[in-house]
Amino acid sequence: MLSLGSGGAKSTKPSFVSYVTPEEIKSEKDPPKQEKHPDLLPGEVEFCSANPILKYTQDDLSQRGVFGTLFCTNFRVTFISDEKPQEKTDKTFKNKLYGENDIPLMCVDHIYGVYDEKRKLITGGLVKNKYPSKMIIHCKDLRVFQFSLTFSKEEDAKKIFQGIAHHCLEEKSLKCVFAFSYMGTPSPGTDLSFCREMQWKQETVMFDSPEDWTQEMKRTKANCRLVTENENFELSQRLPKYFVIPLTIGDLFSYQGKGLPIWCWSHYSGCALFKASFPPVTQEDGDFQKHLDTMINAVAHNHLYSVKTEDLSESLPNIQDIQQSYNKFKQFFLIENSTDFWLSDVKWFSSLESSGWLDIIRQCLQKAVEVVECLEKDNTNVLITEEEGTDLCCVISSLAQIMLDPYYRTLMGFQSLVQKEWVAGCHAFLDRCNHLHQKDKEVIIACSFLPVSSDAILQPEKSPLAQSGPLSCPTVWDWSVQFDSKAQNFFFNPLYLEKVKHDRAVRKPHKPKHQRNLSLPSTAFKTPPKKGFFKDETDSLKKMLRVKRLSRWRGSPDAPTATTREFFESWQHRPLDYHGLLLPCLDGPAVHIWMQRYLRWIPEVYILGGGSVAVMTKLMELLSQVQDLKRVLEQRDSSQAAKLDHRPYFQHRLLSFDSSGRLSSSFPFAYTCYRSFKPIIPTGLMQSLMVTDSLASQEDEASSVVSFV
């Protein structure tokens, strides 16, 4: 037989009604006639269910599926297979609250119905008509589920479809969010690691009390003023209960807190980063302009009378652009079948570019580097502003803090940072996740640029618990609610270098004492920066500030200012200090998409036995060996002061695998570790590369005369 290469693998549109007829199912189904129900969480209520429903398996070219029951509860849509659970696949990283076939209602992004082979987006209006033969659910975490409704009774199918559509798509009040019904508390004392978990939880600074803010000011040696006047949100609903402002601001109550510079972080030199909500000012509104100038003035007073202001809504894409870009971008990952995958593979780079997503990421990081440059090199106060002051301000300020402050690269530090800048910082999670669904990712993505320094490598999807989390609910930082202690091990980057003083063996390169000082020659503490010394005279100050605002920060996002480039290069030339400043490289080839986040559900990209988990396995093994050896030494050598290792004990045996079952590269996210060990052969290669120029038809050998001298 002659098959024309890859063209032989035809790109057929999969027809799903295939191998099993409904009759067959009936006969198969009859014997085990037992009702199955999901294990409900405390406070969870089942709304409706239907059986049998066919769930298509995505990881198989044959387009087969599994029969089971589909449920809808007040927390999730869940599917329970009729088949006996197979050999327990590797559940090391199991989420205790929801599993492979659970879709929290808040996680549903779009629902499509297939009516007579045509796919339609389900909106409120369509629900009342007939139900589709197939329901496709796109999740916010980029999973795709496909359920066939044709096998169950009509009324059941209708009910489950309408139920799911109603609970996922209809508007609802905040009170309906499951977090308010959830009664779960972690059962204490289940295992030994519980104490440690409690410790973690306690270490995350929540920034919901004046003490947390005072402590943070102390930590960064800030000289600012804590505001407690907003405890009952009298000042402004859009401001946190507690926040910190420059010392010299007296008037708090004008303009509902608009323009008020909120302190983010202080550099050791004394200059600080502030963010503020600056609505656009019209010409007539001279008073308000005056108010804003006073605010800028106050920031300047914080340290050496210099300030640089940056209007983020001017220099970065606005949130609508970002949302649009993300919508385009995420479509590349919502892949329903293999044919689509390989078709889109061909134009992968150009489609990625056309979405603009990576460019936005780059611009945000670029802006953060510019902020860092001002703080670190020029020792100038920075005030970043935008209309609301809680979107891009959060992105830029948290990125800058991650680059500058090693504390925020620890797990606890990162969690505290999210609390400080995003949760206490009043980022509109509810709006952004439901409608824009966007901002938090930016931070998460950005972190992947510092993969080795950031502990938060495995940032799992946040459950709706946290996304709407008023403080009475369990917080997402209590990971024990979701993961057992073993799984929590995966949160740690085994390569993270802790800042330990007494352990000389690991770190041979000697570190100078002033570590944060190391990365750049910053101007000495009391020397005024070249460009930023102002007399305390408001008029001239204002004039000069205005000038600065217009000149310094006008760089097109495409061409980073030469000085920033220089700043990066001079940083690059210094020895790397893990506990000092870290700057990302932002050149095109250095910015990648975050594979593990975006591609983790797509079976076509799984590498069986490979991927970063292969390195992780080996590293954990090594680390646990080192820890074992240390422990032995400690036991033996009692004279040695037993300095206990604070880091979690790496239980590498969890990950070690024998030759039969290899982990897939998308571990711990892909549940199908034991799928048939077959390579994924691309289809449709012929379309991929039609080289039409004359070179392709040239003879392979230009000449067969060999000349070797």
Partner 1 sequence: DRSSGPRVSDTELRVYKDPSKDELPLLPEELVQDSAKDVTYICPFIGPVRGSLTVTNYRLFFRCTDREPVFGLDLPLGGLSRVEKIGAASSRGDVSYGVVCKDMRNLRFVHKEPENSLKKSVFEVLMKFAFPVSNNMSLFAFEYKQVFPENGWKVYDPLAEYKRQGLPNESWRISKVNDHYELCDSYPATLFVPVTITDEELRRVSSFRAKGRIPVLSWIHPESQAAVVRASQTMVGQNGRRCKEDEKLLQAIMDANAQSHKLFIFDARPSVNAAANKMKGGGFESEDAYQNAELVFLDIHNIHVMRESLRKLKDVVYPNIEESHWLSNLESTHWLEHIKLILAGALRIADKVESGKTSVVVHCSDGWDRTPQLTSLALIMLDSHYRTIRGFQILLEKEWLSFGHRFQQRVGHGDKNHTDADRSPIFLQFIDCVWQMTRQFPAAFEFNEYFLITILDHLYSCLFGTFLCNSEQQRLKEEVPKRTVSLWSFVNSQLEEFVNPLYVHYPSHVLFPTVGIRHLQLWVSYYIRWNPRMRPQEPVHQRYKELLAKRAELQKRVEELQREAANRMASSSSERAGSPTRSITPVQTFV
| Residue (116 or 699) nearer to partner 1, CB | 699
Site string for partner 1, 402-421 (x = CB under 8 A): --------------------
Q: Any alpha helices (H) in 535-656, and if so which ranges?
A: 538-551, 562-572, 595-598, 612-636
Give the tokens for residue 298. Answer: 């106050």
Which residue in the set 192, 505, 550, 641 belongs to the binding site for partner 1 (CB under 8 A)?
505
- Looking at residues 120 to 159 of the shown chain, list those that interact with partner 1 (rule: CB under 8 A): none
Cα dist from 59 to 307, 309, 315, 438, 582, whole Å: 55, 51, 43, 28, 39
Here the tokens at position 547 are: 């000038």
User: Among residue numbers 451 through 470, which ones bind partner 1 (CB under 8 A)?
Assistant: 452-453
Contact 552, 529 (CB under 8 A): no
CB atoms within 10 A of CB 432: 19
Interface segment toward partner 1; rule CB under 8 A; list 82-90, 347-355, 523-531, 534-542: 347-355
Segment 231 to 290, residues that bind partner 1, using CB under 8 A: none
CB of 652 to partner 1, least distance (A): 12
Choose one: 22-30, 323-331, 534-542, 699-707; the region binding partner 1 (CB under 8 A): 699-707
Residue 529 Cβ vs partner 1, minimum distance, rounded to whole Å:
26
Least distance in Å: CB of 634 to partner 1?
A: 11
Contacts with partner 1 by CB under 8 A: the residue count is: 95
Structure tokens at 413: 């530090």
Q: Which residue lies nearer to partner 1 by CB, 430 or 576?
A: 576
Report the C-alpha gap between 594 and 441 in whole angstroms: 11
Work out how close the CB of 588 gets to partner 1 at its nearest, in angstroms, rounded to a whole number.
3
- Of 289 and 688, which has the nearer Cβ to partner 1? 688
H/E stretch holding 695 reads helix 694-697
Among 113, 611, 648, 668, binds partner 1 (CB under 8 A): 611
Collapsed DSSP state (helix, strand, coil) of residue 478? coil
Whichever of 644 and 709 has its CB closer to partner 1, that residue is 709
| Least distance (Å) between residue 345 CB and partner 1 | 5
Q: How far is CA 51 from CA 15, 136, 155, 532, in A?
A: 22, 17, 11, 71
Among 205, 303, 665, 668, binds partner 1 (CB under 8 A): 665
Query: Does 493 engage in binding with partner 1 (CB under 8 A)?
Result: no
Q: Which helix (H) or strand (E) holds 386?
A: strand 381-386
Please pick, from the candidates 17, 198, 252, 358, the single residue that binds partner 1 as defined by CB under 8 A: 358
* Site string (674-693) toward partner 1, x via CB under 8 A: ---xxxxxx--xx-xx-x-x
Closest CA to 441 of 398, 491, 489: 398
Q: Give pairs for 450-453: CB < 8 Å, separation 24+.
A: 450/402, 450/403, 450/409, 450/582, 450/584, 451/493, 452/493, 452/495, 452/496, 453/406, 453/409, 453/496, 453/578, 453/582
Choose which of 62, 86, 173, 697 interacts with partner 1 (CB under 8 A).
Answer: 697
The 3-state secondary structure of 149-203 reads CCCCCHHHHHHHHHHHHHHHHCCCCHHHCHHHHCCCCCCCCCCCCHHHHHHHHHH
Report phi then psi at 641, rounded to 5: -60, 120
Pick the piece of the chain touching partner 1 (CB under 8 A) from 165-173, 319-327, 515-523, 613-621: 613-621
DSSP states along 278-323: -----TT-HHHHHHHHHHHHHHHHHTTT-EEEEEHHHHS--HHHHH
**Of 576-595, which residues contact partner 1 (CB under 8 A)?**
576, 584-585, 587-590, 592, 595
Whole-number minimum distance, CB 515 to partner 1, in Å? 16
Nearest to 578 by CA among 663, 642, 519: 519
* Burial class, 614, CB count within 10 angstroms (exposed 0-12 / middle 13-18 / buried 19+): middle
Bridge partners for 265 per DSSP: 273
User: In 10 A of CB 660, how many CB atoms?
Assistant: 7
* String of contacts with partner 1 for each residue 424-453, x by CB under 8 A: ----------------------------xx
Q: x/- binding map, residues 620-659, to partner 1, per CB under 8 A? A: --xx-xx-xxx-xx-xxx---------------------x
Residues between 11 and 40 that touch partner 1 (CB under 8 A) = none
Q: Find the shortest distance in angstroms from Cβ 678 to partner 1.
A: 6
Stretch that binds partner 1, among 108-116, 121-129, 177-185, 343-351 (CB under 8 A): 343-351
250 or 349: CB nearest partner 1: 349
> Please, what is the minimum distance in Å from the beta carbon of residue 694 to partner 1?
9
Among 515, 612, 651, 672, contact with partner 1 (rule: CB under 8 A): 612
Q: Which of residues 524-543 bind partner 1 (CB under 8 A)?
A: none
